[in-house]
Amino acid sequence: MAVTVDEKWLDAQYSVLGSVLISPEVAPRVMSGTSEQDYSGTCRTVFLAIKKLFLSGAAIDPVSVSGALGPNYRDFLVQLMQITPTAANIDAYITLCREQSRVAAVRELAQKMAVADTSEKLRPLLEKASGLMADKLNLKITTMADALSSFMQRHTKKPEYLTWPVPELNDQIYGELGDFFIIAGSPSTGKSAWALQCAWHWAKQYKVGFFSLETSSEKLFDRQMAAAAQINMEVIKRNVLSQAEWDKVCGMNPEITARNLELIPAAGMTPADVRAVTMMRGYQIIFIDYLQLLAASGDNRTAQVTSISIALHTLAQSMGVTVVALSQLARKKEGAPSMSDLRESGQIEQDADMVMILSLEKKDDPSGNRILHVAKNKEGICPKVMLAFDGKHQTFSKANRSGDVLGQMVADGKKAKRKAHQQADPNQMQILPENTPVPFDK
Which residue from 210, 9, 227 is spatially nearest to 104, judged by alpha carbons? 9
If 0-12 CB within 10 Å is exposed, 13-18 middle and 19+ buried, where does residue 64 land?
A: middle
Decide which of 233 and 399 is more confident. Answer: 233
d(CA 147, CA 153): 10
Position 4 scores a pLDDT of 54
d(CA 287, CA 207): 11
Quote helix, strand, coil % in the chain, to nearest 5.
55, 15, 35
The conformation of residue 292, written as its DSSP 8-state character, comes to G
Position 290 scores a pLDDT of 83
| Helix ranges (DSSP H) in 232-346 | 233-238, 243-251, 253-258, 271-281, 301-319
Decide which of 122 and 226 is more confident. Answer: 226
pLDDT single digits (tens) 247-267 = 988 988 888 889 999 999 998
- Mean pLDDT calculated for residue range 293-316: 87
pLDDT single digits (tens) 163-196 = 999 888 888 888 889 999 999 988 888 899 999 9
pLDDT confidence bin for 139, thresholds 50/70/90: low
Position 157 scores a pLDDT of 78
Range in 41-45, 79-83, 244-248, 380-384 the model is least confident about:
380-384
pLDDT confidence bin for 130, thresholds 50/70/90: low
Q: Which helix (H) or strand (E) holds 285?
A: strand 285-289
pLDDT confidence bin for 432, thresholds 50/70/90: very low
- Mean pLDDT calculated for residue range 297-319: 86
d(CA 323, CA 202): 13
Position 428 scores a pLDDT of 45
Position 132 scores a pLDDT of 66
d(CA 181, CA 173): 11
The residue type found at 63 is V
Mean pLDDT of the chain: 83
Sheet containing 180-185, strands listed edge to edge, beginning at the edge strand earlier in sequence: 261-265, 208-212, 285-289, 322-328, 180-185, 354-360, 370-377, 384-390, 395-398
Q: What is the CA radius of gyration of the chain?
A: 29
Strands (E), 80-185: 180-185
Position 40 scores a pLDDT of 92
Phi-psi region of 338 (alpha: psi -120 to 50; beta: other; left: phi over 0): beta
pLDDT confidence bin for 45, thresholds 50/70/90: very high
- Mean pLDDT calculated for residue range 259-277: 88
Which residue from 333, 331, 357, 353 is spatially nearest to 344, judged by alpha carbons? 331
Which residue from 331, 372, 365 is spatially nearest to 195, judged by alpha carbons? 372
pLDDT confidence bin for 116, thresholds 50/70/90: confident
- Mean pLDDT calculated for residue range 79-106: 90
d(CA 355, CA 341): 12
3-class DSSP state of 17? helix
- Integer CA distances (angstroms), 65 to 14, 29, 35, 85, 288, in order: 15, 18, 18, 19, 51
d(CA 161, CA 125): 37
Instruction: Please count the other Cβ atoms lying within 10 Å of the Cβ belonging to residue 333.
Output: 5
Examine the pLDDT at 131 and tell me if it is beyond 80: no
Range in 101-115, 165-179, 194-208, 334-348 the model is least confident about:
334-348
